Amino acid sequence: MRASQFHIGTLKEAPSDAEIPSHRLMTRAGMIRKLAGGIYSYMPLGLRVIRKVEAIIREEMNRAGALELLMPMVQPAELWMESGRWEQYGPELLRLKDRHQRDFVLQPTSEEVITDIARNEIHSWRQLPKNFYHIQTKFRDERRPRFGVMRGREFTMKDAYSFDRDEAGAQKSYDAMYAAYMRIFARMGLEFRAVAADTGSIGGTRSHEFQVIADTGEDLIVYNPATQYAANMELAEAPGLIAERAAPAETLRKVATPGAARCEDVAALLGVPASKLVKTLAVAVEPEQAGAAPAVCLLLLRGDHELNEIKAGKLPGFERGFRFASDQEVAEHLGCQPGFIGPVGLARTVRVIADRTVANMSDFVCGANQADHHYAGANWARDLPEPDLVADLRNVVDGDPAPDGSGRLAIQRGIEVGHVFFLGTKYSAALKATYLDETGKPALMQMGCYGIGVTRLLGAAIEQNHDARGIVWPRALAPFEVVICPVGWGKSEAVREAASKLYEDLLAQGVDAILDDRDERPGVMFADWELIGVPVRVTIGDRGLKEGQIELQGRRDAAAEKIDVAEALPRTL
């Protein structure tokens, strides 16, 4: 690329809403331009980095045996109703109507559509396992879009979905993706950590996030340097490690009928032994709205944080003024002794969306239980089996001794750039995605899903790699790997010749080089390329050429180095 033919849009000032370095630097370097809150245009410079991120992801996904396809951005509501997420997803799901008043969504993720594809395409055990992925625009109407591409509303994600015959197969697929993710982020030159994680609104039973380590990260990670155990501290606030189950209609009816349910029914509803339902239940009631019966939310509670969020109307899905029922009401509602109801504490949105009329009651219950999660912890965080640590996460501080005495715990901040989920049959059961097994009987497919935030990765890489002058790209992601800065381009034939020769040689070697032929002063050129973050700069001027020398400077180096002209190519490859 020649700079005179490229679009360089560097700016002196950062936008006033840019709170963190990557947002400021991406805008100042001319990589992104804001169109609306959380919605950005990727300028030619930014798109080059996105394409590099995508290329690495594609190579590793293909290497791991995943198959690329492309699913639509706009998806019919019916599929989301079938999975239950039309009701469960909350305001992050952007819903729209077509000219016939039919409901659609802009996809925030694609479990429904891929499961629909699988149930139509996969009939026999012979066709399994399969892993499909796409790299596609997502839309999530985030409550607080901020930090530029880091928390956008429109963003690009790579999402993959595996289908297997049984749990053991699904575990293998999960492991293959986990390994592919380790390779992907290592190739990008990032410092990262895989951590045990909460499954959020995607669901499933076990999951790991891939966190790029950076002080500006929104997530807190606790890890044990001795054992490499690591977990997202969100887990402490999410005792509901989310086992979603289809509850029998009979049980739902009982629980929604005041006085009808016993502890055992509630436990059955949540899919946990009754003995584990200790002092953790409360019920939130949504006020009646015109034409709609009040919705009832069953919550498992612990601590205060999320409760306060609900009260302040800040928790997604609870903005519409849920109130908490009193212990007495809850007890009545559940048909149990008030003593069974513990103090209202931290709530994970474990919901029974139960219309009191029962008629519209959802068949789905997101059940979760603190105790279940501890014990199950040993399984889902299979390679990180420290359930005690998980239980105590909330109170961990930097330097605490590890529970097993293996060392001291440390806390870091991280940016979630990838997330792998073991889904089990959550979606295949809801959408009835079955195949015929070896005996000819229909069986549910076992699923996993695996996301990478393509555009968020740009921000994360910059948070980890920048200095006062600008971005410092890891070479694998840099928009250009080498920039050639001729001093006196307009005046000196010798400079033009040497610079053009090196440029052509680099291109011939497959190096992504840019030749700054704008005839700018060195100060202007250097400031631009330091801000943009090109890892290697070669400066060519008349004075040096007379001695057969040019200047080489790595973006992280304190000073330039004079080298022989002949060394320029081998040293910049």
- Nearest residue (CB) to ligand ATP, 450 versus 473: 450
- List the one residue out of 233, 246, 220 whose CA is nearest residue 82: 246
- With CA atoms as reference, report the closest residue to 281 among 368, 356, 198: 368
| Binding at 485: pick from ligand ATP, Mg ion, none (beta carbon under 5-8 Å per type) | none
Nearer to Mg ion, 87 or 92 (CB): 92
Asked if residue 286 lies in contact with residue 294, where contact means CB atoms within 8 angstroms, the answer is yes
Alpha-carbon span 465 to 90, nearest angstrom: 35
Shortest Å distance, C-beta 418 to ligand ATP: 5
Cα–Cα dist 401/408, whole Å: 4
Do strands 482-486 and 536-540 pair parallel, antiparallel, or not at all (unpaired)? parallel
- Shortest distance (Å) from residue 459 CB to ligand ATP: 8
Q: How far is the CB of 158 from ligand ATP (least distance, A)?
A: 9
Question: How many other C-beta atoms lie within 10 A of the C-beta of residue 136?
Answer: 18
Provide, rounded to whole angstroms, the least separation between the CB of residue 421 and ligand ATP. 8
Q: Which does 48 bind (CB under 5 to 8 A by kind): ligand ATP, Mg ion, none?
A: none
Least distance to ligand ATP, CB of residue 377, Å: 19
User: Which of ligand ATP, Mg ion, none does residue 152 bind to, with CB < 5 to 8 Å depending on kind?
Assistant: ligand ATP
Q: Which is nearer to ligand ATP, 202 or 445 (CB)?
A: 202
Report what 456 binds from ligand ATP, Mg ion, none; CB cut-off 5-8 Å by kind: ligand ATP
Nearer to Mg ion, 103 or 218 (CB): 218
Residue nearest to Mg ion (CB): 419
For Mg ion, the binding residues in 403-442 under the rule CB under 5 A are: 416, 419
User: What are the CA-CA distances from residue 371 to residues 140, 197, 267, 351, 355 (Å)?
Assistant: 32, 17, 12, 18, 28
CB of 108 to Mg ion, least distance (A): 9
25 binds, among ligand ATP, Mg ion, none (CB under 5 to 8 A by kind): none
Binder of residue 142, out of Mg ion, ligand ATP, none (CB less than 5 to 8 A by kind): ligand ATP
456 binds Mg ion (CB under 5 A): no
First to last CA, the chain: 16
Residue 330 partner contact from ligand ATP, Mg ion, none using kind-dependent CB cut-offs of 5 to 8 Å: none
In the sheet that 323-324 helps form, which strands lie side by side, from edge to edge?
A: 323-324, 281-285, 296-301, 347-348
Cβ-based nearer residue to Mg ion, 28 or 419:
419
Q: Minimum CB separation from ligand ATP for residue 449, in Å? A: 9
φ and ψ at 36, to 5 degrees?
-155, 175
Residue sitting closest to ligand ATP (CB):
453
Q: Report the half-sphere exposure of 69 (CA within 13 A, side-chain side).
A: 15
Question: Which residues, including other chains, have CB under 8 Å from residue 330's CB and lie 6 or more apart?
Answer: 281, 282, 283, 338, 341
Q: How far is the CB of 209 from Mg ion (least distance, A)?
A: 6
Give whichever of 148 and 544 is closer to ligand ATP, judged by the CB atom. Answer: 148
In the bound complex, what is the minimum distance in angstroms from residue 367's beta carbon to ligand ATP? 20
* Residues engaged in binding ligand ATP (CB under 6 A): 109, 140, 142, 151-152, 155, 157, 200, 202, 416-419, 451, 453, 455-456
Angstrom distances, CA of residue 29 to CA of 26, 152, 527, 529, 533: 5, 19, 10, 9, 9
d(CA 389, CA 76): 42
Which two structure tokens, joined as six digits, stand for 5? 């033919």
| Least distance from Mg ion to the Cβ atom of residue 19, Å | 18
Residue 418 touches which of Mg ion, ligand ATP, none (Cβ within 5-8 Å per kind): ligand ATP
Cβ distance to ligand ATP smaller for residue 109 or 549 = 109
Half-sphere exposure of 356 (CA within 13 A, CB side): 12
From the list ligand ATP, Mg ion, none, pick the one residue 195 interacts with, judged by a Cβ distance below 5 to 8 Å according to partner type: none
85 binds, among Mg ion, ligand ATP, none (CB under 5 to 8 A by kind): none
CA–CA distance, 152 with 39 (Å, rounded to integer): 6
Residue 492 exposure: Cα atoms within 13 Å on the Cβ side: 18
CA separation for the pair 498, 505 (Å, rounded):
11
109 versus 434: smaller Cβ distance to ligand ATP: 109
Nearer to ligand ATP, 197 or 334 (CB): 197
Residue closest to 17 by CA, chosen among 36, 43, 41, 42: 36
Positions touching Mg ion (CB under 5 A) are 416, 419
